[in-house]
Amino acid sequence: MKQTIIMTVLASATVALMTACPAPTNTNSNTMNRMNTNANTMSNSNMMSNSNMMSNSNMMSNSNMMSNSTNPMVGGAAMYANKDIIDNAVNSKDHTTLVAAVKAAGLVDTLKGAGPFTVFAPTNAAFDKLPAGTVDTLVKPESKATLTKILTYHVVPGKQDAATIAKAITDGGGKATFKTVQGGSLTASMEGSSVVLTDEKGGKSKVTIADVMQSNGVIHVVDTVVMPK
């Protein structure tokens, strides 16, 4: 009888202890789970970030490619249709003289404006055809008015692409006259498959690269500087 009572008491004490002390949790397992979750979150975040960076980079690259898809190279440089006349011209190694002249004449802001403008852009070789010392004289401050007159004679208001000029020549019976920003006129005609400009002094200049599209107009590269009266 006494032994039965002792066993009963021991069993009750064991049950009480088990009830008072809950089963231990697996701390290491929970910690590892949290670490894995954080690692996955960071990995996913980095993957998303890298993916977005690559996507944005590709979008920018594709945008430039699309903007340049219809433009020829000029002076060894890509010409982008989403850039203005000045921003494209400064990259052409064949137009350093023209760019310097535009700066000397104070026409940079004008040609960066909304326009649209059609620019017949003489190459460095075109300026080299002028009498020796002409360019050096023209870029001097005291020659600014004369330089401005010559440069604006190369600019026609509006966007006159090759198709528009060719149609005007056909409609005009072989010749088309365009009023320049300077106020004078240029006469366009065809010689074979090339458009040729005749200036007011009878000088001729051939378009060597046509339809270089700009955000504010179009450039046609020419091989000779045209001169107003």
83-126 per-position pLDDT tens digit: 999 999 999 999 999 999 999 999 999 999 988 999 999 999 99
Confidence (pLDDT) at 69: 52
Domain encompassing residue 185: 85-222
pTM above 0.85, yes or no: no
Q: CA-CA distance, 49 to 75, in Å (whole number)?
A: 38
Cis, bond preceding 141 (omega within 30 deg of 0): no
**Residue 227 is assigned to a structural domain of this protein:** no
Domains in the chain, number: 2
Place of tokens 């998303």: 48
Same domain, 158 and 51: no
Same domain, 213 and 100: yes
Same domain, 116 and 13: no
Cα dist from 157 to 10, 114, 118, 209, 212, whole Å: 109, 11, 6, 19, 16
